[in-house]
Amino acid sequence: MLPVTTVAARLSTRASRALVVAGQRHAGAGSVNAVRRKLGVSSSSQYQAIRGIQSVAQTDRDTITRLLYSLGSKREVERHLRIFSAASHPSQPAKFAVIKVGGAVLDELDELALSLSFLYRVGLYPIILHGAGPQMNSLIESEGVVPDYVDGIRVTDAKTLQVARRVFLEENLKIVSALEKLGTRARPITGGVFTADYLDRDKYGLVGKITKVDKRPLEASIRAGALPILTSLAETPDGQILNVNADIAAGELAKEIEPMKIVFLNDKGGMFHGVTGEKLDVINLDEEYDQLMKEPWVKYGTKLKLREFKELLDHLPRSSSVAVISASSLQKELFTDSGAGTLIRRGYKLLKHDNLDVIGADRFRQVIHDRDPEVLSGFQSVTGVLNNLQKTPYTIYGDEPLDVLAVVSHPPDEVPVMTKLLSSRAGLLNNVVDNVFSAIKKDHRKLFWTAQAEDENRAWHFERADGSFTRAGKSLFWYGVQDVKEVERVVREFEEKGRIDRAYLPVGPSVAPHRAAAAASGQRAFSTKAGGGTWTTKPGSIPGSKRGYATAAPTPSTEKKKLGLIGARGFTGQALTSLLSNHPHLELAHVSSRSLAGYTIEGYTKPDGSPLKYENLTEADVETMERDGKVDAWVMALPNGACAKFVEAVKKGGEAKEKKSVVVDLSADYRFNDEWTYGLPELYDRSKIRSSTLISNPGCYATSMQLLLAPLVPYMRPDAIPTVFGVSGYSGAGTAMDPDNKGADGRPLSIPKIPGEALNGGIKPYSLTGHIHEREAGWHLSRLLPGDTAAAIPAPKDPNQPKLQVGFVPAIAPWFSGILSTASVPLRKRMTAKEVWEVFEEKYGGERLIGMGKDVVQVKDIQGKQGWRVGGVQMGSGGERVVLVGGLDNLLKGAATQCLQNLNLALGYDEYAGIPVDEQDV
């Protein structure tokens, strides 16, 4: 197989001919029409020619993206691409990465240019800032100037600065030229970004200390579709050019831009242990910094680097990290969990306790309630977990915010068992799981644990185990035991004492005699029979991550399935029908509307090309269709209180079926029912939705409220109520039949219950207290309350009311669709707007249907868009109250789009199948 960079180079020749640069973001139909007008294209053939050129560029981009799959798993690569793409927004396009190129790397210019061009072709625009130390030394010495250093800083006089300027400009143009030859647009920026004062004129001469960074030239370059190539020269306010250390300039630039990644390219490819010489894979500053700085091998340059990295990351969101790598490893570092160089991040300090009361029983209980798959699937209760915990001595491991929690049971003279390993999304993305697991390995030379075969992070378990046994979808893992006979002895002990569920153990009649013999001889035995199992004593190279908990989900299904829609006359039903018309696997097979029965459904064509007509399905029809397996999923798009009879028909028809159909209800009927799963994927457990057949779709206002408040729940004052003012387009009021208004084919037409013109250009508040979405939002957000906050809130007098109260006032507005929600949230401690924004970035970073921007959200930002958007963070009352705005289209993310997310998850499809997801939809 050709190296990735070699293939990229071959592709670049073809890509450079393209009219539309492959790395630029997809502009949509509006931009295509603009191109047609600008170029004066009128004929179809001319237009198709331009579209053909665009297709070449897009094909190159897709091909290069696929090449990344050779570095890591497809899901791994796509997740990183999605996260990095979501980090940039047209209003702040420079959020992806700052890459500092060391002078030694410039001697490998071709490798550097290929790596940077690779990023460009997948639509990512880093800021490149370069030094030129070795080149400068060589030229200075050739001209007879002896370099002078004080405190490690180059003393810069007028002669030295003259040489520095010449070298910087030459090296800058070399990088630009190398990129342009590969068809990658680049813009040289040699001034106008850094303003500086003299560091110490008498001591260092013309050396600057940066006082201001102007990011506008960099953002302008990216908006123009060109990579900004920047030198580390600065100017004083009166125009004197000053020399600035490139590492320091990169750090100051990062503080201003707050990118996700700060990459330092060097010729060594990382940082190395001063005694063993081994490359350091990860440095977690919060956990390791103090100890590292005391190590005798950490001195001089290493100590300076660590100090600089800590000072830099302390100014940045926790989602930012530093990577020290070589140019050739740039793609592997950025797009795989295992990485390539040295990753430096803030991390969190870890905790370890053998007493539940130290971390708080309520906090522990909440984590179990929210994350434990056994509890979420109903096989175990929170009380049962707590009771089991007390049966043996145990140790709880985790990090300070409990983004990761692990429990190890370790009775005296017995092999320890890790009974729980539960991680939040932040724990996965920030690689906290590996830190916790490393702490466990330090304490226990041997360990057993279990995982189900459908575990999203299965590769992670295999990579960290010395051996495993899998049978009937359940796996037992261990490390520290190499002898199969010892494994069998330990397993028998687990069975006798009930320390591990028997379903995970290789015992009982399901172990065939030939397998037992093979195991006794130390040989591997494999079985593909149902109920059989697979021993592995030394796993080979399993795709996974040495840095973090791999988040690759099971391969999405592509099986064709059929959907029944009950109640399609309203706006939401129409929106869902439109989305389903583009679904690659799910066929809309039956659509019921009593008033439209017999008429053709507009905007939807069956896969065989035939039209689909409305039916008038009764409960008996639904029961029969369910019993006969005619439908794989049902969507109930009926008014509140109207769908129970159809749900019962589905349940009755499926009584004899082994595989039940999925039901998604769009009404409020089951949003407080424990038998149903509440389907808001971005906030509550996706795995629970995947395993559910009864899913209640959240309300539109409630969705926006919860997304707006959820990140702030741990920071809310327990004695105050957050308030939300929501304004919705008139489509949220629903539709009514107009008997006097019929279509051309005679079909009765629906009209809005409250027409926009009836509002006379104003808004109309309604349901000023007690709106059902108020209770809904509080009910489910209460699940996110930390233990200490929950304990501080008095129990509501009415058991039907949630513990977390939300004050909500809705209003209807004269636009068609779109909800704007403005929240005012009292905080338990003072926070800055930046800190609030970091909380949201940590909560939602990488979510494909959530957009974040600093500006206040407006209707134009959300109307017709598939996702939810937040912005306009402002602090009040001395930093103890935050006001911010969120928004979504009530017919899409507030209803139809979210419904399709839930259907996709429950049916085993990719969550976003059929949903047009790109940066323009959030």
pLDDT exceeds 80 at position 56: no
Higher pLDDT, 762 or 545: 762
Tokens 């989305």 -> residue: 579
pLDDT exceeds 90 at position 227: yes
* Burial label, 651 (beta-carbon count in 10 A; 0-12, 13-18, 19+): middle
Nearest to 902 by CA among 584, 665, 703: 665
Which region holds residue 252: left if phi is over 0, alpha if psi is between -120 and 50, else beta?
Answer: alpha
Mark whether 899 is an active-site residue.
Answer: no
Q: What is the pLDDT of residue 777?
A: 92
pLDDT exceeds 60 at position 551: no
Higher pLDDT, 496 or 37: 496
Cβ atoms of 846 and 86 within 8 Å: the answer is yes
With H, G, I as helix, E, B as strand and everything else as coil, classify residue 244: coil
Which region holds residue 152: left if phi is over 0, alpha if psi is between -120 and 50, else beta?
Answer: left
Which region holds residue 522: left if phi is over 0, alpha if psi is between -120 and 50, else beta?
Answer: left
Out of 280, 552, 664, 700, the active site residue is: 700
Residue 204, CA distances (Å) to 64, 197, 244, 437, 566 in order? 47, 12, 11, 48, 77
Q: d(Cα 793, Cα 747) in Å, to the nearest integer?
A: 55
Tokens 């320890």 -> residue: 416
Structure tokens at 853: 């921007």
User: Within 10 Å of residue 496's Cβ, how many Cβ atoms?
Assistant: 8
User: What values do phi and psi take at 115, rounded to 5?
Assistant: -65, -45
Q: What is the pLDDT of residue 62?
A: 55
- Give 569-591 as a DSSP string: SSHHHHHHHHHHTT-SSEEEEEE
Query: Stretch 315-327: mean pLDDT, rounded?
Result: 86
* Burial label, 562 (beta-carbon count in 10 A; 0-12, 13-18, 19+): middle
Residues 180-200: pLDDT tens digits? 999 999 999 999 999 999 999
pLDDT exceeds 60 at position 36: no
Nearest to 612 by CA among 591, 633, 593: 591
Tokens 């520095």 -> residue: 164
Helix 4-15 and helix 109-121, axial crossing angle in degrees, nearest 10: 70
pLDDT exceeds 90 at position 411: yes
Q: d(Cα 101, Cα 328) in Å, to the nearest integer?
A: 12
Reported confidence tier of residue 514, pLDDT bands at 50, 70, 90: very low
Structure tokens at 529: 């029979």
Reported confidence tier of residue 79, pLDDT bands at 50, 70, 90: low
With H, G, I as helix, E, B as strand and everything else as coil, classify residue 489: helix
Reported confidence tier of residue 66, pLDDT bands at 50, 70, 90: low
User: Within 10 Å of residue 436's Cβ, how many Cβ atoms?
Assistant: 24
pLDDT exceeds 60 at position 810: yes
Tokens 């690659």 -> residue: 584
| Of the listed ranges 255-264, 440-449, 541-550, the one predicted with least confidence | 541-550
pLDDT exceeds 60 at position 439: yes
Residue % of the chain over a pLDDT of 90: 36
- CB contact set of 165 (below 8 Å; sequence gap of 6+): 233, 241
Q: d(Cα 564, Cα 646) in Å, to the nearest integer?
A: 11
Q: Where are the alpha helices (DSSP H) in 131-234?
A: 133-142, 158-181, 201-204, 216-223
Cβ atoms of 313 and 322 within 8 Å: the answer is yes
* Distance separating the N- and C-terminal Cα atoms of the chain: 38
Q: d(Cα 268, Cα 285) in Å, to the nearest integer?
A: 21
* Burial label, 644 (beta-carbon count in 10 A; 0-12, 13-18, 19+): middle
Reported confidence tier of residue 360, pLDDT bands at 50, 70, 90: confident
**Highest mean pLDDT range out of 20-29, 154-163, 425-434, 527-536?**
154-163
Q: d(Cα 864, Cα 855) in Å, to the nearest integer?
A: 19
Q: What is the pLDDT of residue 86?
A: 67
Higher pLDDT, 794 or 745: 794
Nearest to 261 by CA among 425, 119, 427, 404: 119
Higher pLDDT, 746 or 698: 698
pLDDT exceeds 70 at position 476: yes
What's the whole-model pTM score?
0.46
Higher pLDDT, 845 or 740: 845
**Across the strands, what pairs with 627?**
none
Q: What is the pLDDT of residue 921?
A: 54
Q: What's the whole-number average pLDDT of the chain?
A: 80
| Of the listed ranges 39-53, 503-517, 544-558, 900-914, the one predicted with least confidence | 39-53
Helix 382-389 and helix 361-371, axial crossing angle in degrees, nearest 10: 130
Instruction: Please compute Rg for the chain using Cα positions.
Output: 30
Single-letter amino acid, residue 748: P
Q: d(Cα 865, Cα 329) in Å, to the nearest integer?
A: 37
Higher pLDDT, 749 or 764: 764
